Structure 1
Amino acid sequence: FAAVLFPGIDEPDRVYLILLTELLPVGALGLAMTGLVAALLSNTDSSLHAATTIFTLDLVRRRQPNLDEKQLIFISRAFTLVIMIISAFWAREIDKFDTLFEYVQSTLSYSITPLVTVYVGGIFYKRFTSNAAFYSLLIGISGSLSLVILKNYIPLFDFHYLYVPLPICLLCLISMFVITYFDTSYSERDDKLDKNLTWSVKEHSVLEILKDRQLFISSALLLVCTFLFVIYFA
């Protein structure tokens, strides 16, 4: 659509801004830009908050349980500043990619694969231990970083980022099976899950689910909308 209206666009990342500035009137343009900036700030704020929360509560507080709230707040603010500085320097790396979409997809291929593999593996094979999940996650992240170094700094290795998830996934799965096999910390009580955290068909029959009218209607509407969406764009 943008290529038809404005055939002189050379950079795909500028399409959205060009459409806004050329097609919207002054008032609507201000509202659209305000929404865009608000969405960017909200995304940045959520990412920083999540990172600092994990670092402060899951790492620092467990190792230093005697820290009070003021000290934890100071540490979280300092860590937020460190992340912002690192992000500012990392922003220069984005310019090495042809488009912003390619950068996002490439980053996800390297970073998300170990997390998804460990998460999905734990769902389908309940005997995976916590040590297996933790160390296989570290191995997967190390493998992803190794591929990044090989691709960017060694000319002999040149591969598309879509080929990255498969070897990283296999590496994580093999690591999880091997570590679980040699991990002696596993016990039978690990098989017993809290019933409040799981959902079972044995405890919730189909008739009981259908009795929940609101859930039934919302599920039916979701299925219909999904079907129409697929048919329309197929």
Structure 2
Amino acid sequence: MQRNCSCENISKILKFINKWYKRNIDNQETEQHIKKLVGKSLSSHYGPLNIIQNCFEFLNEIPQIKLILKFVAKNENLQIYFDFQRESVKVLNNQQERLIKGHVFLEPSVIYIAAKNLLKKTSRLKVLSILAHEMCHLALFIVYQNSANPYEINNEFDKRKFEKIFEKCDKLKEEERSIKNVFKLYNEENYHKELIVKVPELLVYYFNDDVKFFEIFVTFKFLFDYFDENIVKDMKLFLKE
């Protein structure tokens, strides 16, 4: 989830937790972008020493998300907060409170993850899917400079193309709860930016369920195709510059 509105509860939590520590990775076999991400990550003292590195190494196994990791790791201002004391945090959304498990402050590149459920094997994938979701928001914000929308601000062709994808997803939203939540939880100005990050989120969430993921992929193939043909391509071009 990303918004321009202030999230006072998250800000208070970040100020309250004063026992943060950075990790130093000396293992030469660890890929450089993972070392950078771990170095930019902070956690409460309740977090196990190796769990953050394990998170990034797991996500690194998925090619599309590995690209996101490499991209975000280049951000010099990036900070990722893993809050092992909370499963969720309250934010104000359209004058109503709701619980979220992650949030990205696009400027100045701060990601907050309610990480308590990383300690539970049964709920770990959900937290990792949120981490991938939030990191993708930040990557899109940097690539397109368009409030994390999946196209450049003056690219009317891709905007119309994605609007058609959005309309198709609207008709099929009952097939997948997380897709349905885009229409249920967000206002119109956030529809596109929240829909596109469902791709990395679903890639992680159904990592251990090939049958279910195949069903989702077939149903929403047009959304996955846009991600591969546009987002992946543009991120690769951006990294080469």
Larger Rg: 1
TM-score, length basis structure 2: 0.24
TM-score, length basis structure 1: 0.25
From the two aligned structures, give the one with the greater helix fraction.
1
